[in-house]
């Protein structure tokens, strides 16, 4: 929001009144003031130096008409959002029979890093369904740092996972790595995952959107929240049924944890921007002993759900064994979270 001070009015007095309304305002010199979009009240008019106040995003929500009635305020311009579809989406997304976000309780998405065989995913799906997990995760196409690491079993693994999920009444979330595979992934998945390394692969975002499926958009490891939300807008503008954001840690400087879990971003997105955001503590920490405490912290911060890697024998996992929980460890974690996350700030 941009507020223009009437010429002749005392900007310091106007600022005091605005602050009293609960607004955090930053004065702008005339030359830097952006051109107003939709303007409420009288236009700023030409001639004479003007003071403008830019209202910071952290301000409490104030109706523009009450700002206009502040003595000395001439005009109020509301800035146009660069991601109108995401703003309109609201705090929840429907994924098959599951709702992620809003008033719904936490959604549990769990499974192996990689889908290793039909029998492996089937057995794990049975255990996870018994623990209260709603969506089965697992990678068929794996984005690996080294070309020599296991790359996933590809299309056949998608079939294994879909069948395992069907047998146990679970939904499926799995990653599309390439625009060429996104159609096949969409046929098998209820929620298409876009991985961290691909958050700004715009061709892939477009292709994922065009399938009409909801998208789980992981945060790029050095992406700002604005970049992340614009990437979500790409999916929506091309037809995605909804976008769920997934915080999975950003690049830090200390290798003690694999990444740096940004729970401030989670709280901001959940409470201020009212968007569905889930947390992946597995890739955020790289260590199974940190999954439970960070999962609880994520829910307390406003996460709508958790994406957690689980393996029956982590020491033999084809990828990411050190961060995989045993099924019974996941069961204990789910059991310890007795109440839905608090979703509003009073």
Q: Which residues bind ligand PEP (CB under 6 A)?
A: 113, 139, 143, 175, 195-196, 218, 248, 280, 283
Candidate list 55, 77, 113, 277; residue touching Mn ion; CB under 5 A? 113
- C-beta of 140: minimal distance to Mn ion in Å? 13
In the complex with ligand PEP, which residue's Cβ is closer, 72 or 111?
111
- Among ligand PEP, Mn ion, none, what does residue 116 contact (CB within 5–8 Å per kind)? none
72 vs 276, beta carbon nearer ligand PEP: 276
Whole-number Å distance between alpha carbons of 76 and 65? 8
Q: Which of 50, 320, 334, 341 contacts Mn ion by CB under 5 A?
A: 320
- Name the segment binding Mn ion (CB under 5 A); options: 13-21, 40-48, 76-84, 316-324: 316-324
The minimum distance between CB 175 and ligand PEP, in angstroms, equals 6
* Nearest residue (beta carbon) to Mn ion: 113
Q: Given the complex with ligand PEP, which of 106 and 195 has the nearer CB atom? A: 195
Scanning 48-56, 241-249, 313-321, 331-339 for contacts with Mn ion by CB under 5 A, the matching segment is 313-321
CB of 323 to ligand PEP, least distance (A): 10
In the list Mn ion, ligand PEP, none, the entry touching 218 (Cβ below 5 to 8 angstroms by class) is: ligand PEP
Nearest to 226 by CA among 177, 267, 273: 273
Report the C-alpha gap between 267 and 14 in whole angstroms: 32
Of residues 264 through 293, those in contact with Mn ion by CB under 5 A are: none
Determine the Cα–Cα distance for residues 113 and 149; give it in Å rounded to an integer. 13
- Closest residue to ligand PEP, judged by C-beta, is 195
- What does DSSP assign to residue 265? H
Angle between the N-to-C axes of helices 327-336 and 118-131, in degrees from 0 to 180, rounded to the nearest 10: 20
Question: Using CB under 5 A, which of the segments 100-108, 117-125, 233-241, 315-323 binds Mn ion?
Answer: 315-323
Tokens of 222: 């050095």
The C-alpha atoms of residue 128 and residue 290 are separated, in whole angstroms, by 20
CA distance linking residue 99 with residue 81, whole number of Å: 26
Query: Is the alpha carbon torsion for 291, 296, 302, 306 positive or negative?
Result: positive
Where are the alpha helices (H) located in the chain, listed in sequence order? 11-20, 64-68, 84-89, 118-131, 155-168, 182-188, 202-210, 225-237, 263-267, 281-285, 291-301, 327-336
Residues forming contacts to Mn ion in the complex (CB under 5 A) are 113, 320
């Amino acid at each position: 929001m941009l507020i223009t001070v009437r010429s002749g009015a005392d900007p310091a007095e106007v600022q005091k009144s605005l602050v009293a309304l609960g607004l955090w305002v930053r004065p702008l010199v005339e030359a830097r003031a952006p051109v107003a979009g939709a303007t409420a009240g009288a236009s700023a008019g030409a001639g004479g130096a003007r003071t403008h106040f830019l209202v910071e995003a952290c301000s409490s929500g104030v109706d523009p008409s009450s700002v206009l009635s502040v003595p000395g305020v001439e005009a109020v311009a509301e800035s146009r959002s660069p991601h109108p579809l995401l703003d309109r989406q609201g705090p929840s997304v429907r994924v098959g029979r599951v709702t992620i976000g809003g008033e719904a309780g936490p959604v549990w998405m769990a499974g192996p890093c990689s889908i290793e065989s039909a029998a492996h995913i089937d057995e794990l799906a049975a255990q996870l369904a018994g623990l209260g997990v709603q969506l089965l995760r697992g990678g068929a196409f794996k984005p690996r740092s080294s070309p020599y690491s296991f790359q996933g079993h590809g299309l056949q693994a998608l079939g294994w996972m879909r069948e395992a999920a069907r047998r146990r009444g679970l939904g499926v979330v799995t990653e599309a790595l390439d625009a060429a595979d996104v159609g096949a992934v969409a046929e098998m998945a209820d929620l298409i995952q876009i991985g961290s390394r691909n958050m700004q692969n715009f061709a892939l975002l477009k292709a994922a959107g065009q399938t009409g499926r909801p998208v789980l958009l992981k945060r790029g490891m050095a992406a700002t929240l604005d970049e992340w939300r614009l990437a979500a807008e790409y999916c929506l503008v091309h037809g995605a049924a909804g976008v769920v954001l997934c915080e999975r840690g950003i690049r830090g400087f200390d290798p003690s944890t694999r990444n740096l879990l940004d729970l401030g971003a989670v709280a901001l997105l959940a409470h201020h921007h009212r968007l569905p955001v889930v947390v992946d503590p597995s890739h955020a920490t790289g260590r199974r002993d940190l999954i439970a405490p960070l999962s609880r912290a994520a829910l307390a911060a406003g996460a709508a759900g958790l994406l957690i890697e689980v393996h029956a024998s982590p020491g033999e996992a084809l990828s990411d064994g050190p961060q995989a929980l045993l099924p019974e460890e996941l069961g204990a974690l789910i059991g310890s979270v007795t109440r839905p996350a608090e979703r509003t700030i009073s």
